[in-house]
Structure 1
Amino acid sequence: MKKAIIALAVVCSLLAVIIGGLVFGEQKAKSDLEGQVGEFLDECGVTATSIDVHGRPYLLYAAKGDADLTYADLDPVDGTNKDQLLIHRLSHGTADRLTRFITFDYPSAGATPVLNDDGSYSEFATIKGKKVTFSAQADGTRLQVFADGRPAGELKLPQSAEVKGVSAQEVGIGVEIEYSSSSCR
């Protein structure tokens, strides 16, 4: 009986060490991937307020040197209230694609988004009882947002981009862009 208890204790101890090692390794791998993303952003001249690497298990992605999908929050500039860069499949310093979500402030307070039939955001909002249509245009390295064709916001971009979508949200005018190049070099 004593030998069975000792054997059970040894097996439990080994399992605890293995599980602890995996948890530690997973956290270390996540930290390494965040560091890789941080280096990429430094080369881009971008300072992130937070980096959130997705894709588990981190150990496997770190072993390949890949960060599958990363959300990097950037400091919003005047006229915006949220700025987030998505880095798709960063591998050895090169990303497959860079997508950016920027939320511009509404031109006036009290805007209410108009939802599509399926509950998703549309490009319309009601401001002071009037339905307003929002749009955006990327021209070279300048992103412009329009409310009923009139300028409603502008942002300088580090490289040329294509507007993928515009939506009126509770917090402002959301604009999705995709950069022409996935490299900052």
Structure 2
Amino acid sequence: MSDTIPMIREGHLMKKTLIALAVCCSLITVAVVGIVAAELHAKAELESQVTAYLDECGIEASSIEVHGRPYLIYAAQNRADLTYVDTTPAAGINKDQLLIHRLIDGSADRLTRFITFDYPSAATPIKNADGSFSDSATVGAAPMTFSAEADDAHLRMFADGRQAGEADLPQHAAVRDVSATDDGVVVEVEYASSSCR
């Protein structure tokens, strides 16, 4: 009899410990699920702000990717720090991407656009010594250098000084960089105004 009382006590203690652990695990699970749900909701809020901004600009996005975590903090500030927006490219362009920098309450700090033109024919990029892409590629058997210029309405891409591609611009923009990449000739432009019109 004296042996069974400590065993009963141990059994009760073990049972209480298991119950406490189960309750603790349940609370942690509920908290984690709640945080994940709140993050997803915050991300959706930020994407909604970006969509509203794009709607005002008349831009139809094929995909929107908001960067910056935790989303909860940015959503609480009504701020999408950096957003990648893919749009449907025009003929002769294989990718058209807009970067919206610091969208706060419907206004952006800066707008950058990356337009990737198709090569005139099959090409191999010529890389810099550090491995980064240069403004040149081997097209056929000869090296070719690419450049670009922008005005109030158009972006023109040139291959060895001859026009090889064109894209419409909604406003004046400055060419920031031209790179011959694996996917094509990427021209980076920055809009003069933070409005996308």
Q: Do the structures match in fold with TM over 0.5?
A: yes
**AA partner of residue 38 (structure 2):** G
Picking from 114, 117, 123, the partner of 2:126 is: 114
1:129 equivalent to 2:141? Answer yes
Picking from 8, 18, 26, the partner of 1:13 is: 26
- Give aligned pairs, total: 184
- 2:152/2:170 contact within 8 Å kept: no
- Scaled by the length of structure 1, what TM-score is found? 0.96
Distance 2:141 2:18 in 1: 76
Distance 2:75 2:110 in 1: 19
| Cα-to-partner distance string for 1:72-115 (whole Å, 9 max, x where unaligned) | 111010010001111111110011111111100112x2211111
Picking from 148, 151, 155, the partner of 2:160 is: 148
Q: Which runs of 5+ in 2 are unaligned?
A: 1-12
Give the number of the structure whose alpha-carbon radius of gyration is greater.
2
Q: Which residue of 1 aligns with 2:109?
A: 96
Q: Which runs of 5+ in 1 are unaligned?
A: none
Q: Which residue of 2 aligns with 1:173?
A: 185
Distance 2:196 2:97 in 1: 16
Shift of 1:5: 2.4
| Cα-to-partner distance string for 1:50-76 (whole Å, 9 max, x where unaligned) | 000010000110011111111011101
**AA partner of residue 143 (structure 1):** L
1:160 equivalent to 2:172? Answer yes
- Scaled by the length of structure 2, what TM-score is found? 0.90
